[in-house]
Amino acid sequence: MKISRRLYSYYLVWPALLIYSIFFVIPAIAGLYYSFTDWRLDRTSIQFIGWDNFERIFTDKTLLLAVKNTLIFAVATVIGKNIVGMALAIGLNMRLKTRNILRAIFYSPSILSILVISIVFTPMLRADGTINRILDAVGLHFLTQNWLTDPSVVIWTIALVSIWQQAGFQMAIYLAGLQSISKDYYEAATIDGAGAWRSFRSITLPLLTPAININLMLTLIGGLKVFSEVFVLTGGGPGNASQVVGTIILRSFGEGSWGLGTAVNTLLFAAVTVIAIPLLIFMRRKEVSE
């Protein structure tokens, strides 16, 4: 009887484990195998070719550019979303009469479809678009760019659009963390003569660590898995200037190079795992120590 009671909780877990295995574990293992093959649309047989697909990833200039763009996008959006999100959260945590309306305004872009955002931003980012006109009007002509057609700035432009869209989501998480901090800490710091910066560094940041950890992980994983923003704004162009790993996977499968596409996808999975898990462990340890 005791044994059956102990196993009762496992009975409830097994259906979820079965579904997880069917839709994730088994396809992941199959994908790992196919990444070492020459699996193509125009071939009836599949041959094991070892590391050839992965060697191609690190020798093909387009594929290397896609990896580079993905890393640039990930780093830029992790920094941008968290800095902007935290700044908005701190500002809207103050006693402003319009804070609830402003919270809704800043959060609303995160629930919009990226397709809608692309329809809005594409004409604004043209050489003769709204953004360049505004820069010209305020005397900042030197800042005008061909935002979506200049290979040197296009990936940064897409990153800025992503920051604009998602910073409100990070703001909401930081805001929840700020509201869980007792006001008594700040009152005691004020009595001790601590200024705003000292209070922020010694009270806000340490107690906001759980929210920071969550946001860092979400933005990092989202940045490495970027696809939608690039696909709808530039399609990987001009040329291949804004290709990222996600668009390369789509293109590989579209061209029938299924083995290569699976290899790129496997590499992306490995990169996310290798980067995210150690970072998560480090942040958790830091969170506990603080």
Give 262's pLDDT tier (boundaries 50, 70, 90): very high
The confidence score (pLDDT) of residue 43 equals 80
Q: Among 86, 102, 104, 283, which residue's Cα sits nearest to residue 175?
A: 86
Tell me, what's the pLDDT at 152?
A: 92
More confident call, 41 vs 216: 216
Across residues 110-123, what is the average pLDDT?
89
Task: Evaluate if residue 183 carries a pLDDT over 90.
Answer: no
Mean pLDDT over residues 264-286, rounded?
84
Q: How far apart are CA 174 and CA 90, in angstroms?
A: 8
Where residue 53 falls among pLDDT bands split at 50, 70, 90? very high
Tens digit of each residue's pLDDT (9 = 90 or more) over 156-170: 999 999 999 999 999
Token duo for residue 200? 């922020």
**Dist. CA 97–CA 25, nearest whole Å:** 50
Per-residue pLDDT band for 284 (boundaries 50, 70, 90) equals confident
Looking up tokens 């290979």 gives 151
Q: Which residue, 179, 176, 185, is CA-closest to 215?
A: 176
CATH number belonging to domain 61-289: 1.10.3720.10
Contact 175, 92 (CB under 8 A): yes
| Band (147; pLDDT cuts 50, 70, 90) | very high
Note the pLDDT of residue 95.
83
Residue ranges per structural domain of the chain: 61-289
The alpha carbon of 26 is separated from its chain's Cα centroid by a whole number of angstroms, namely 26
Average pLDDT over residues 150-158: 94
Apex CA 95: angle with CA 209 and CA 287, to 5°? 5
Query: Residue 3: its pLDDT value, please?
Result: 56
